[in-house]
Amino acid sequence: MKYDLPKELRVEGDGPVRIVVFDRAEERNAVNASLHRALAQVWRQLAADRTARAVVLTGAGRAFCAGGDLDWITSFLDDPVAREESLREGAEIIDEVLRFPLPVIAAVNGPAVGLGASVAVLSDIVLISDTAYLADPHVSVGLVAGDGGAAFWPLLTPILRSREYLYTGDRIDAATAVEIGLASRTIEPDELLPEAIRLAHRLAEQPQAAIRGTKSVLAMHLAQALGAAVRAGFAAEAVTMRSEEHRERLLALRSKETRIR
């Protein structure tokens, strides 16, 4: 099947396994407008691929996904139409991942930040390189952690741990991510993608009606628990996107990153 996606997100085939790759390696796979739109569209295309049986999600280069591209996010400060579109697409991404019928294995090969962390931990199985980390720094830039963290981290890990990491934006190293339930197991970097693909093939060989039905039942728990929380999260995030504190924090962060480059 031919996928209709921009260059920032590519789909490779390995028999019945589809490998979905964030492909902005030089930008640490930070999400720009094109990649964000592709993340909202790819799941239905994968579901329509009749020969696909399992999916591996990973990043090109040394990062999984470093969150939102700062140039793109900064454009929202003075463009309310783009801001609202990003929120609508963000909600669509979460909804599409939850509805997706095939098993998804996240191969977290490097930093998974913000939306990257959200998409990773919504996967069915999260294999994480022992040199990688998760982080949700929304609060640190004056935003409510509305695109996933505040809504569903407490379903996976003790709420006290969720609060600490969401309030501070601190990095969660691979071993800690496994310990608190945000990842399944750690893997050595060189073995991460091969192990994810091997596991995906095992899942692809399972009876399909049984595995899809099991995933559907499991997804009901998440959907029921997340419905109101996700809607409230995006609404609260929208309010903070218009705040002066967010503007100041974001511009300071962008300026700092520009100097580092």
Residue 230 has pLDDT above 90, yes or no: no
pLDDT tens for 91-102 read 999 999 989 999
pTM: 0.95
Residues 35-55 have a mean pLDDT of 98
Residue 260 scores a pLDDT above 50: no
For the chain, list the domains and their CATH numbers: 9-192 (3.90.226.10)
Whether the per-residue pLDDT at 89 is higher than 60: the answer is: yes
SS (H, E, C) the chain: CCCCCCCCEEEEEECCEEEEEECCHHHCCCECHHHHHHHHHHHHHHHHCCCCCEEEEEECCCCCECCECHHHHHHHHHCHHHHHHHHHHHHHHHHHHHHCCCCEEEEECCCEECHHHHHHHCCCEEEEECCCEEECCCHHHCCCCCCCHHHHHHHHCCHHHHHHHHHHCCCEEHHHHHHHCCCCEEECHHHHHHHHHHHHHHHHHCCHHHHHHHHHHHHHHHHHHHHHHHHHHHHHHHHHHCCHHHHHHHHHHHHHHHHHC
pLDDT the model gives residue 146: 75
Please determine, for residue 127, whether its predicted confidence score (pLDDT) is greater than 90. yes
